[in-house]
Structure 1
């Protein structure tokens, strides 16, 4: 018997992962995530019960980043330098292009809190103090 959701075009077996976090300035994050990392703006919302936000990703991919701002609330900076998103780029040319795009967008690598990441990639810090590692390795587990 076919799953009724599958017959309507829904893939019930592939979840979508959305990582959401607050920020004090959504617009300040766009040069980093859109200009540097190449994410696209998938949707925005303004003043939804006091929250405004933006969802970034790549069309058709099962992962998103969501940044929200609650009116009248201070989110502050990342609590530690080890708050990371890691993007694995095993192909050397793709890795080099990603590093180049970040540098071209005006972002310089920072020393990683965990030295492991300096051995396998470059770490960049967004305007809120959260970090993204571009790792020149595959995920093999």
Structure 2
């Protein structure tokens, strides 16, 4: 099996795309405190009974991504498939990282032990779990391409 060389052109439209990260949930209402009060996102859109689905989009107008959570009556998508399904937010400023962690804790979300010990290393990461078992890591540091 051979891999083709990806386009590295800055004109590649994928490099300019807005990203929607979508997943189902058994309860949109159970997720809202984690993503709004804890992480600080806002509702930027919602819908009800669209082909049997309800949904909410969370983000911020300045971001190039947003989250969509959907619920279909009578369908239970279950919990996260593993404890290593992660969203990682790299926060280079220690003050801003502490502020983000503090907001989560103030809202009642306690850090959990990470499945992968890397995320707990050197006290630089805090992992939090939403109502569906999906995990978010707040990492104090920059992401660097290899």
**Does the alignment pair 1:123 with 2:135?**
no
> Does the residue aligned with 1:113 lie in a helix, a strand or coil?
coil
Q: TM-score, normalised by structure 1?
A: 0.89
Counterpart position of 2:18? 16
Q: Deviations over 1:75-126 (max 9, x none)?
A: 1111110010000001000000000000011000000000000013100000
Q: Which runs of 4+ in 1 moved over 6 A?
A: none
> Does the residue aligned with 2:16 lie in a helix, a strand or coil?
coil
> Does the residue aligned with 2:104 lie in a helix, a strand or coil?
helix
| Aligned-partner Cα distance in 1 for 2:19–2:143 | 17
> Does the residue aligned with 1:139 lie in a helix, a strand or coil?
coil
Aligned residue pairs: how many? 131
1:41-56 equivalences in 2 (<5 Å): 41-56=43-58
Q: TM-score, normalised by structure 2?
A: 0.86
Structure 1, unaligned stretches of length 5 or more? 1-10
Instruction: Give the aligned CA root-mean-square deviation in angstroms.
Output: 1.3
Structure 2, unaligned stretches of length 5 or more? 1-12
